[in-house]
Amino acid sequence: MNHSKLKQNWKILLTIVVFMITGFLLWGTQQQWMPALKNYANKTNQKQSDQKTTGAASEEDHHDHDHAGHDETSSLELSPQARKNVGLTADKIVPVQLKDFTRTITIPAMVVERPGKTRIKVVAPMTGIVTNVNVTGGEAVQPGRPLFKIRLTHEDLVQAQTAYLKTLGELDVELKEIERIQVITNKGVIAGKVLLEREYAKEKLEAILKAQREALLLHGFTATQVDQIKKTRRLIKEHLVYAPLVHDQSGEVSAPDMEIQRISAPAPRTLDQAAASQRSLLVVQSLDVNKGDFVQAGDTLCVLADYSDLYIKGQAFEQETDEITRCLDNQWPIEAIQEENNKTKKLIKDLKIDYLDNQIETETRTFSVYVNLPNQIEHDTIRKDGDRYITWRFKTGQRMQLLIPVETWKKQIVLPVEAVASEGAEQFVFQENGDHFDRRPVHVLYQDQLWAVIENDGSIFPGDKIAFAGAHQLQMALKNKAGGAVDPHAGHNH
C-alpha cells in the first residue's frame, strides 16, 4: 500500500516537473513563436471581420472588399501613375530581408584643401618685365607647361652671366696655350716647369667657372640654361617660368629640363594613362600679373591648385573622442552624405580617417576629424585655341556630414527612412498586397538620416514587400481618403 502511494506521488511530481520545464521553455522562446501566433490571430480576426462586412454591405460596395486581409481605413489603392508620382518604381518595392546594421554617429563636416598640397604658389625667380602670359584664370595646365616669359633686367643677373662668359673665354685661351706648349716641350725647346704653371692656371680658372655656374643656378637659372650659355656663348635675355610638378619634392618650381608643348586635344590613351593625366592637372586659381608688369624676384605670379585630393574636415564633440578613436584604430570605412539640394542626398562610401586633431577648441569643445577625399573630374572642355577647363566633382567649401561607425547589430529589419511615416506616437510602413498598400504599425528601434531599424515583433516579416519610398505621401493620401484633416508636418523630423 505504501509502495503504491509512493509510486503515485512520484508520477505527480514528475508531471509537475515536466509542466514546469515546458513552461520555462515556452517563456524563454516566446520571441520566436509569439509574433507568428499574434500574426495568425490578427489575420483570423481580420478574415472574420471582412466576412461580416461583406455580408452586410450592398452590391455597390462589394468591389471595395474583395481583397483578403484588407481594412479600408488602413488600405490604399494606387494607379500606375500615382505610384510613379510618389516614386514607387519597381526597385522601390522590395522584399524585407534581415541584414546586419552598423550604427553610426553623425558629425557636421566641410570639404577643405590639403594644407601644403592643394595650393602651389608660382613666384618670379628673377627680376624683370613680364613679356608673355601664357595662361588665363581658371585654365587647367599640365606640369611643365610654360606659364610666363620674363625679360631679365636686373644688373646682378647681367654681371653674373658676363663674368661666366669671361671666365669661359679665359679658359679657352689657357687650353689652347697648354696645347701649344705641349707640342714645343716634346721638342725640348721649353722646360716642363712652364707647362706645369699653365696647368695650375687652367685648374684655377675651372674652379672659378664652377663657382660662377653655382651662382647662376642660385639666381634661378637651370642647368640646361647654364649649359646653353656655355654652348652659345651668349647671354640669356629672357626666362621662362613653367608649371611645377604636382608631387615633386625637389623644390624645383621654375623651368624643367625638357621641352613642353602647349596643351592640345588629347591623343588616344589607355584608361590608366588618362586617369594619371587628369590627376596631374593644375587649375590656375588666381593670376596676379599682366603682360608688361615689372616683377622682382619672389613676387607672386599666379597660384595653382591641385584638386585631385582634398580633405573632409569634420567637427566632433569632446565626448565622442573614444568612439572616433576606436573607428580609427580598427580602420573601419566611413561614409559621407553630400547634400546636392533640399531633397537629394548622395552617399560617398569607403572613406578613411587620415588623422584626428590633437587639440580641442576651448570655446566649442570640439576637435577636427580629417578624412581623405579622392576627387574626380566631371567636365573636361578643350577650346579651339588649346585652352583647357575642367570641373571637379568636389569643391572646397561644400558642406557634408560624416557617418562614423560605432557598433554593428546582427540580423535586423533595415528600411530607408523614406519607407517610414509618422503620425504622433505612431509609425507606419506600407506593405504591398495585390494592387493595394496596407498600412502596418511598427516600432522603430533606431533611426538616422538614411536608415530605420524596425523591431522584429511580427508587424512585418522577412519576405514582405514594403514600399521603400513615399511613405509620407501614402499616409497623407490615406488621411485624405478618410476625410481627416491633413497635417503638413506629418512624417517630417525637425
pLDDT in tens, 55-81: 444 343 433 444 445 566 788 888 888
Q: Over the Cα atoms of the chain, what is R_g?
A: 40
Q: What is the pLDDT of residue 125?
A: 86
For β-strands 366-374 and 353-356, DSSP reports them as antiparallel
| Cα–Cα nearest to 399, from 316, 313, 307 | 313
| Cα–Cα nearest to 182, from 172, 196, 170 | 196
Q: What is the pLDDT of residue 435?
A: 82
Q: For residues 176 and 155, is the Cβ–Cβ distance under 8 A?
A: no
Which helix (H) or strand (E) is 494 found in, with range? none
CB count in 10 Å sphere of residue 213: 19
Q: What is the mean pLDDT of the chain?
A: 81
Say whether pTM exceeds 0.85. no
- The C-alpha cell of 10 is what? 512520484
| Cα–Cα nearest to 329, from 312, 352, 360 | 352
User: 251 pairs with which residues across the strands?
Assistant: none
Q: Which of 120-124, 235-239, 411-415 has the lowest mean pLDDT?
A: 235-239
For β-strands 75-77 and 377-382, DSSP reports them as unpaired
Q: For residues 214 and 226, is the Cβ–Cβ distance under 8 A?
A: no
CB count in 10 Å sphere of residue 23: 10
Q: For residues 420 and 492, is the Cβ–Cβ distance under 8 A?
A: no
Q: What is the pLDDT of residue 54?
A: 46
CB count in 10 Å sphere of residue 247: 11
Q: For residues 460 and 468, is the Cβ–Cβ distance under 8 A?
A: no
Q: Which of 253-267, 271-285, 354-368, 449-463 has the lowest mean pLDDT?
A: 253-267
The Cβ-side half-sphere exposure at 421, using a 13 Å CA radius, reads: 27
Q: What is the pLDDT of residue 182?
A: 77
pLDDT in tens, 280-327: 789 999 999 999 999 998 899 999 999 999 999 999 999 999 999 999
The Cβ-side half-sphere exposure at 310, using a 13 Å CA radius, reads: 19
Type of residue at 411: K
